[in-house]
Amino acid sequence: MAWLNTLLYPAVLVAIFLGFQALGAAPAVAALPALLALLVSLPLRVKNLWKEKQAWISLGVVAPSRKDVFKVLLRGFIKAVLLLLVLLIGLFFAGQIKWQPQISAGLLLNGFALGVGVGFAEELLFRGWLLGELEFRFASKAWGKSLALVLQALVFSLAHTRFNLPLASLCGLLGGLTLLGLALGLQRRADAGLIWGAVALHGGLVGGWFVLNQGLIGQQEGNPIGSWLAWIPLLLLIWVRRRWW
C-alpha cells in the first residue's frame, strides 16, 4: 500500500496535465494546473508522510541564506555551459553544425523561460520529491541512498524517452537521460540538499540547447543527450561527484 501511494501521486499530476490537454490546452498551458497542484500538495505530503515539519527545506527549495542559493545556481549554470560547449565542439568536429546565426531577443527570452520553467518544475518533482521519497522508502537499508539515486534517474529517463525511435537511438536516449538524472541527483547532494544547482544545470541545458538549436547551429535531429558527445562529459561529471553516492 505504501508503494501504491508513491506511484499514484505522480499519476494524478500527469492525469491533470493530460486532462487539460484533452480539453484543447497547449502543453505549456496544461502544465500550469499540474504545477500548481504539485506546489500545493507537495509540502502537505512531506509533512504528513515524511514527518518533516519544514517541508520546503526538506525539498531543497529553502536555503539558510540567499548566498547559498546564488552559489549553487552559479555552479549549476557553469556546468551547463561547459557541457554545451563540449557538445558544440564535438558537433563541429563531426561536421554536424550548419552555422546560421539568427539570435534575437525573443529567442533568448523564450530560451530563458523554457529553462526556468522546465528546470524548476522537473527538479522539484524528480530531485526534490522523487529522490527524497525513495530515500524515505529505503531509509532502513544500508544501500538505500544509492538505490534511490539510481531509481530516480531511471524513472526520469523513462518519463522523457520517445519509445517510437529505432532501437539504437532508443538505447542511446535512455542511457543519456539516465546519466543526466544521476548527475542531477548527485548535484543536489553535493549542494547540501538544495535543488537550485540541479535547476540551473537542467534548465541551462534545456534553455541553452533551445537557443543554440533554433538560432545558431541549425536544426539538429534528435536529442543530443543520446549521443556519445553527451555521454562522455556526463560520465566525467558523475565520476567527479562519486563521493556523494
pTM: 0.94
Instruction: Supply the DSSP string of 181-199, one letter for each residue.
Output: HHHHHHHHHHTTT-SHHHH
Q: Specify whether the CB–CB gap between 188 and 194 falls below 8 A.
A: yes
C-alpha span between 36 and 202 (Å, rounded): 20
Q: Specify whether the CB–CB gap between 6 and 136 falls below 8 A.
A: no
Going from the first residue of the chain to its last (245 residues), give the mean pLDDT of each consecutive group of 10, the final group possibly shorter: 82 91 88 93 94 94 89 96 93 82 90 95 96 92 92 94 86 95 97 96 96 84 86 94 90
